[in-house]
Structure 1
């Protein structure tokens, strides 16, 4: 005999749409866009094509790099300076020159009262129409901690605009996709500026491959398309909201993987 919970789930499943695709997200014109990147390269890998299109639409784009890029001590002492130089070169290709480095510890970032105060100040001063933050569903703990802190500050301080999570290591349950076909070459060139990360991992192939896959979601454009995917976060903080659900899933995945070791 089926349990009540099983019957309830089956009823809900029977009411699902056939294939609910992420909605197209059209870059705004002459808006203000604030981007938080845990590491130098996350901004380009996650939303570089979208940022290039926003600049072409005359948007003011500011990128905040959260950590110092030291690689949690695994890189040479000159790595932070190299990664800052690479970041400037990459963002120059995307036509972005408004950059700030917060120099939090790479690999062990934790949101402090001082960091949250700085985020609130940036939100209140810049007043973004669009805010981009890393995914709290991501495998990298810096991304999880940074995304949760930034988005919680945005929800709590009543900042204007819309907030979106971008994907790096872990694909998102996307609510929106941006067609970046016209900016894919700029994204490739910008990623290629990050020689230090590319010497450790083929981020270029991975990122462009993900963009190609996301291109399948673009309506009426079969084959050879590229897109970046995002999840929009609701304005009001809620234990039942998307941000909290993603965070719960990330914590569950980690606990499950630990039991398998």
Structure 2
């Protein structure tokens, strides 16, 4: 019986390994295709910005280089985290401890990128709940986001891709878009992909229009900073699929304009 269980477990591990490898290869090919063929390279502007992230780490994965370049030029950048991130670490750790760990990691990472604690905002909404909000809860969050937009008046907004294949990420996009409309702000909107490129090519339903209008920026000058910032998320990077981080260590970042 024990031998049979071990064999089953080995088969499961092998399937997971193969699936992860396929995703990594597909992601690398897709990223490079977008980067070298489908995107237009642009320079990082000196426009003020707000980065909206569903969880502590998304901002660094998707926008860390852009943030560091802007901050090196003394351009104001605020970062807003919508959820508390408490469901990302094994359940035997108390939720309040997870929240504290993730906030500390975020502050460390953003400090490396040049963002002060005073420009970092933790809204503290429940992790994995942004698609389960009541009408009133949703209205309150949109109002909260709108007030931040009115207070800081950013010229650029960065938010997760609208089809990022993660519920909190897609919900963040929709909530921020509604907040922008409520605030009557005239602003450029850039989507950053986190999970959308990480798919099994055998079951991928990615549509080309979902990545149309792509732009890329060179982050060569701050690449080491971004790597250090990513490394600050110790509680997260050890739980990610093998190969997932490779794209984010690239000297380029990709954005899709809304």
Taking structure 2 as the reference length, the TM-score comes to: 0.72
Picking from 76, 83, 102, the partner of 1:83 is 102
Q: Does 1:165 align with 2:181?
A: no
Residues in 2 aligned to 1:126 and 1:164: alpha-carbon distance in whole angstroms: 17
Look up the match of 1:184: 223
Look up the match of 1:49: 65
Residues in 2 aligned to 1:61 and 1:208: alpha-carbon distance in whole angstroms: 25
Shift of 1:153: 2.2
Residues in 2 aligned to 1:130 and 1:45: alpha-carbon distance in whole angstroms: 18
Residues in 1 aligned to 2:121 and 2:110: alpha-carbon distance in whole angstroms: 12
Q: How many residues align?
A: 200
Residues in 1 aligned to 2:233 and 2:55: alpha-carbon distance in whole angstroms: 11
Look up the match of 2:165: 139
Residues in 2 aligned to 1:158 and 1:22: alpha-carbon distance in whole angstroms: 29
Shift of 1:209: 2.6
Look up the match of 1:71: 87
Helix, strand or coil for the counterpart of 2:122? strand
Q: 1:93 to 1:122 in 2, by over 3 A?
A: same
Helix, strand or coil for the counterpart of 2:64? helix
Would the aligned equivalents of 1:68 and 1:80 in 2 still touch at CA under 8 Å?
yes
Shift of 1:155: 3.6
Look up the match of 2:146: 120
Would the aligned equivalents of 1:32 and 1:130 in 2 still touch at CA under 8 Å?
yes
Backbone CA RMSD of aligned residues? 2.0
Would the aligned equivalents of 2:191 and 2:256 in 1 still touch at CA under 8 Å?
yes
More RCO (CA 8 Å, sep 6+): 2
Residues in 1 aligned to 2:191 and 2:99: alpha-carbon distance in whole angstroms: 25
Helix, strand or coil for the counterpart of 2:189? strand
Matches within 5 A, 1:1-20: none
State which drifts further: 170-179 or 118-127. Answer: 170-179
Q: 1:179 to 1:33 in 2, by over 3 A?
A: same
Residues in 1 aligned to 2:196 and 2:51: alpha-carbon distance in whole angstroms: 19
Shift of 1:175: 1.8
The gaps in structure 1 that reach 5 residues or longer are 1-18, 213-225, 234-261
Residues in 2 aligned to 1:55 and 1:72: alpha-carbon distance in whole angstroms: 29
Q: 1:74 to 1:140 in 2, by over 3 A?
A: farther
Matches within 5 A, 1:204-243: 205-209=243-247, 212=250, 226-233=251-258
Residues in 2 aligned to 1:199 and 1:20: alpha-carbon distance in whole angstroms: 32
Residues in 1 aligned to 2:241 and 2:166: alpha-carbon distance in whole angstroms: 17
Residues in 1 aligned to 2:234 and 2:248: alpha-carbon distance in whole angstroms: 20
